[in-house]
């Protein structure tokens, strides 16, 4: 008999839901949830499909969150099998979305189906927050739903996001937080002139070089128990007209902080500007706060996840905050405890994306065990 989670994963992987097109995934998922007593609320915005589905009205509220959109396939001729025709071979499930993150969504649905079948009158409430705008601009997806929930005064007690978090095998790593992202575009002003007469101008590249060296060598913080130290990196730098005989009049530098809860965006801005001021630069900066850091420390949800992974997979998991940002940054402000738990991330966004064929069933079992620990304890 085919595993129900594997079958559901294959069903929604067959939908060509390249961001922000849901391509029918949520109709399939919503139908499954409605059949077990969930009330469906569609909160679409600007062409993005968003679903808030809830079962129950009492606390605590346990939410599964995720996205149905996937990144583009890349060259189809490079795939061993078609990306939207999921295929099992050599003990793996192949297809776009296998890792990121249709398996996580499918596992959450089947875990809840099994939980509700066994405990139809369970305490608390269950909900799903699904979007088709995570792999794109992320302006009209999870952020839109959380805005609605926040305006209503709704608070999430527990949330699991099924993003791919494992490294070598299912369950070896889960995310209990993510670093913040603060970007800036720095324009250092100089005076353009003929390169043979540098005394008539001011070279912003020469002026900025000592400041750049100091910024690159600065220890912004030491991190903490859960986070590595904050990093500062330049991603792009441009100065000059393209001519070889002109001192440039300005220099543009694009940079990014990946920061922990040991720092604040305001503090990092102030410290960076203080260094630039010390070097006497004439400058302007346009700042963009992409995400604030969030963290769920040891507690009921993390403890339940560790126990569930130990029971299902027979291994000890690692709590980690490494990697980029996720939609958890939008959910964390209205959620008490949040974790990301999912399959291996090794092939996410790659040609021939795949996961172990037994991962969907195991992930569903982990989710169900966490539900039982949290809601039935």
Q: State yes or no: 252 annotated in a binding site.
A: no
**184 and 270 co-located in one domain:** yes
**Are 278 and 354 part of one and the same domain?**
no
Q: Give the span between the Cα atoms of 356 and 343, in whole angstroms.
A: 8
| Number of C-beta neighbours around residue 20 at 10 A | 23
Enclosing domain of residue 237: 180-291
Q: Do 20 and 107 fall within a single domain?
A: yes
Query: Same domain for 11 and 76?
Result: yes
Phi, psi of 179 (to 5 degrees): -70, 155
Residues 283, 300 within the same domain: no
Identify the pLDDT of residue 354: 98
Q: Please classify residue 368 by burial: count the beta carbons closer than 10 Å to its beta carbon, then call 0-12 exposed, 13-18 middle and 19+ buried.
A: buried
Q: Is 3 annotated as belonging to a binding site?
A: no
Give the contacts of 162 (CB within 8 A, at least 6 positions apart): 64, 65, 66, 101, 103, 104, 105, 107, 108, 340, 341, 342, 363
Q: What is each CA distance from 342 to 144, 156, 165, 202, 324, in whole angstroms?
A: 24, 20, 5, 53, 15
Number of folded domains that form the chain: 2
Q: Do 143 and 59 fall within a single domain?
A: yes
Q: Which residues pair with 64 in a beta bridge?
A: 128, 160
Residues 91, 199 within the same domain:
no
Residues 21 and 69: beta-carbon distance below 8 Å: yes
Picking from 291, 309, 327, the residue at the C-terminal end of a domain is: 291
Q: CA–CA separation, 202 vs 208, rounded Å? A: 11
Buried b (16+ CB within 10 A) or exposed e, 53-81: bbbbeeebbbbbbbbbbbbebeeeeebee
Q: What CATH number does the domain containing 158 carry?
A: 3.40.630.10
Q: What is the pLDDT along the chain (377 residues), one digit of tens a residue?
A: 689 999 999 999 999 999 999 999 999 999 999 999 999 999 999 999 999 999 999 999 999 999 999 999 999 999 999 999 999 999 999 999 999 999 999 999 999 999 999 999 999 999 999 999 999 989 999 999 999 999 999 999 999 999 999 999 999 999 999 999 999 999 999 999 999 999 999 999 999 999 999 999 999 999 999 999 999 999 999 999 999 999 999 999 999 999 999 999 999 999 999 999 999 999 999 999 999 999 999 999 999 999 999 999 999 999 999 988 899 999 999 999 999 999 999 999 999 999 999 999 999 999 999 999 999 98
* Same domain assignment for residues 199 and 286: yes
Task: Establish whether 318 is an annotated binding residue.
Answer: no
The per-residue pLDDT for 2 is 82
Query: Cα angle vertex 161, ends 3, 20, to 5°?
Result: 90
Residue 67 assigned to a binding site: yes
Which CATH number belongs to the domain containing residue 242 in this structure? 3.30.70.360
Taking the CA of residue 140 as centre, how many other CA atoms within 13 Å lie in the half-sphere pointing to its CB? 14
In this structure, the answer to whether residues 151 and 250 fall within a common structural domain is: no
Return the structure tokens found at 362.
């195991």
For 171, list phi and psi in degrees, rounded to 5.
95, -5
Enter the tokens of residue 283: 């400058």
Domain boundary residue among 291, 316, 338?
291
- The string of DSSP codes covering 267-299 is HHHHHHHHHHHHTT--EEEEEEEEE--EE--SS
**Which of 71, 75, 66 is CA-nearest to residue 9?**
66
Residues 12 and 28 in one domain: yes
Burial class (CB within 10 angstroms; exposed 0-12, middle 13-18, buried 19+) of 253:
buried
Same domain, 278 and 316: no
154 labelled ligand-binding: no
What backbone torsions phi and psi does residue 31 show, to the nearest 5 degrees? -65, -40
Q: Model pTM? A: 0.90
Q: Three-state DSSP class for 330?
A: helix
User: Which residues participate in catalysis according to the annotation?
Assistant: 69, 134
User: In the listed set 239, 258, 291, which residue is the last one of a domain according to the structure?
Assistant: 291
Residues 6+ apart with CB under 8 A from 209: none
Residues 269 and 298 in one domain: no
């Amino acid at each position: 008999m085919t595993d129900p989670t594997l079958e559901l994963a294959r069903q929604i992987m067959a939908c060509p839901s390249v961001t922000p097109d849901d391509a029918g995934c949520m109709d399939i998922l919503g139908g499954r949830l409605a059949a077990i007593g969930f009330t469906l609320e569609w909160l679409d915005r600007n062409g993005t499909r968003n679903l808030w589905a809830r079962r129950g009205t009492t606390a605590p509220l346990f939410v599964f969150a995720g996205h149905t959109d996937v990144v583009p396939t890349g060259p189809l001729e490079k795939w061993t099998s078609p990306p939207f025709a999921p295929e099992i071979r050599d003990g793996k499930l192949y297809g776009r979305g296998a890792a990121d993150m249709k398996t996580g969504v499918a596992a959450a649905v089947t875990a809840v189906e099994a939980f509700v079948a066994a405990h139809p009158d369970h305490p608390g409430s269950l909900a799903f927050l699904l979007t088709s705008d995570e792999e794109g601009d992320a302006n009209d997806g999870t952020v839109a739903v959380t805005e609605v929930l926040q305006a209503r005064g709704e608070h999430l007690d527990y949330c699991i996001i099924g993003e791919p978090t494992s490294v070598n095998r299912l369950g070896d790593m889960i995310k209990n937080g993510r670093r913040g992202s603060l970007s800036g575009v720095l324009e250092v002003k100089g005076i353009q002139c003929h390169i043979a007469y540098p005394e008539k101008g001011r070279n912003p590249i020469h002026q900025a070089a000592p400041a750049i060296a100091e910024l690159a060598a600065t220890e912004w913080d030491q991190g903490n128990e859960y986070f590595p130290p904050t990093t500062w990196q330049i991603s792009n730098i441009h100065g000059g007209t393209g001519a070889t005989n002109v001192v440039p009049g300005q220099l543009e530098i694009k940079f990014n902080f990946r920061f922990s809860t040991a720092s604040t965006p305001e503090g990092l801005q102030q410290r960076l500007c203080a260094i630039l001021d010390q070097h006497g630069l004439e400058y302007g900066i346009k700042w963009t706060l992409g995400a604030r850091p969030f963290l769920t420390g040891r507690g009921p949800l993390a403890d339940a996840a560790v126990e569930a992974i130990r029971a299902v997979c027979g291994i000890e998991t690692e709590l980690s905050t490494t990697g980029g940002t996720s939609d958890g940054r939008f959910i964390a402000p209205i959620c008490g405890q949040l974790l990301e738990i999912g399959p291996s991330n090794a092939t996410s966004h790659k040609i021939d994306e795949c996961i172990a064929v037994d991962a969907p069933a195991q992930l569903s079992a982990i989710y169900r065990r966490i539900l039982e620990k949290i809601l039935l304890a």
